[in-house]
Structure 1
Amino acid sequence: MPRRCCMPNCRGNYDNGPKVSVFYFPSDENLRRKWLSAVHRQDWTPSKHSVICELHFNKDDILSSTSMYDPKTGILLTAPLDRRRLRKDAIPSKLPGCPSYLSSHQTAVREDPEIRRGRLENRALQIAIQESVDTHAKMIDAISFDSLDQMKTKLSECEKHSDWVVINKSDSVRLVLLKHLCIKQ
């Protein structure tokens, strides 16, 4: 016989109600207090058999599959669960059959700090790699030439910013490095 939901006005798993998955109250005291607050029943204490059905949770609070990343193969493995379960911080927030002001609108779930850190590091790494590739392509374009005339033009541009002097002849180009040596006596 399936357990019946303990929420007020809920018919989950009753004879004339819908057949639904149910979840036991959490053992963590802080989360348990939040669940009790969400039940909206005065002077009531749940027993070890008390449950709340899936109708009182958001869709993203209920997990029906699990995933694991295999670092050796680089594959994300996903498998369906035999029994659906709740996210570890899920709180019942929907009260069907009750006035709408009793249902709370749960705020967005915060991303796990380790997952967020990894995601941000990966994004920063991708940006750095793309900038490096772009810089390399610009550098190759700046120093590449197809003819002697293009080479002369590029060398004359470089001459303005260096100690090298370019001597252009009709059939050749000579590069001379001028250095100023200070001789101490």
Structure 2
Amino acid sequence: MVKCCVVGCTSGYKSNTEKVHQFCVPKNEDLRIKWGKAIPRKDLVFTKNTYVCAKHFNEKDIIKFWSSGDVKIPYKQWRLVEGAIPTMFMVPRIFLKNMFNLEK
């Protein structure tokens, strides 16, 4: 299974049985650069095997259905609207602990 490249996200891990759609990094160079700046990870290098899960996109940026008139058919593989950038990131507790000196 494909794993999300966002730090702290467990989408795609064997320990996480939740089904989450994954999106591959865009081929468009300008959009790829925007994704790289948006994803909070210093060591991130995009390859053809780099994916970001649906949890990191606004709902309005995800196309889940093909529609024509009154007919709506769900896509097996969701799509992103043109120019969509991942913007939703959870900060893992370990980072919060280090940033704010939190005790257990």
TM-score over 0.5 (shorter chain) = yes
TM-score normalised according to structure 1 size: 0.45
Quote the Cα distance in structure 2 between the aligned partners of 1:42 and 1:57.
20
Q: Deviation per CA, 1:74-107: give whole Å up to 9, x if none.
A: x5543322221111211100002358xxxxxxxx
Higher relative contact order (CA 8 A, sep 6+): 2
- Which residue in 2 is equivalent to 1:67? 67
Q: Report how far residue 51 of structure 1 moved.
A: 0.1
Q: Deviation per CA, 1:23-54: give whole Å up to 9, x if none.
A: 00001111111111111222431111010001
1:86 matches 2:80: yes
The 5-angstrom pairing of residues 85-124 of structure 1 reads 85-98=79-92
Structure 2: tracts of 5 or more residues without a match = 96-104
Q: Report how far residue 9 of structure 1 moved.
A: 0.8
Quote the Cα distance in structure 2 between the aligned partners of 1:43 and 1:11.
17
Q: Report how far residue 67 of structure 1 moved.
A: 2.4
- Which residue in 1 is equivalent to 2:12? 13
Question: Which of structure 1's runs of 4+ aligned residues deviate more than 4 A?
Answer: none
Quote the Cα distance in structure 1 between the aligned partners of 2:75 and 2:43.
36
Q: Which amino acid aligns with 2:8?
A: N
Quote the Cα distance in structure 2 between the aligned partners of 1:79 and 1:43.
39
Structure 1: tracts of 5 or more residues without a match = 69-74, 100-185
1:38 matches 2:38: yes
Q: Which has the higher helix share?
A: 1
The RMSD of aligned alpha carbons is: 1.8
Total equivalences in the alignment: 92
Q: Which amino acid aligns with 1:84?
A: W
Percent identical across equivalent pairs? 33
User: Which structure has the greater CA radius of gyration?
Assistant: 1
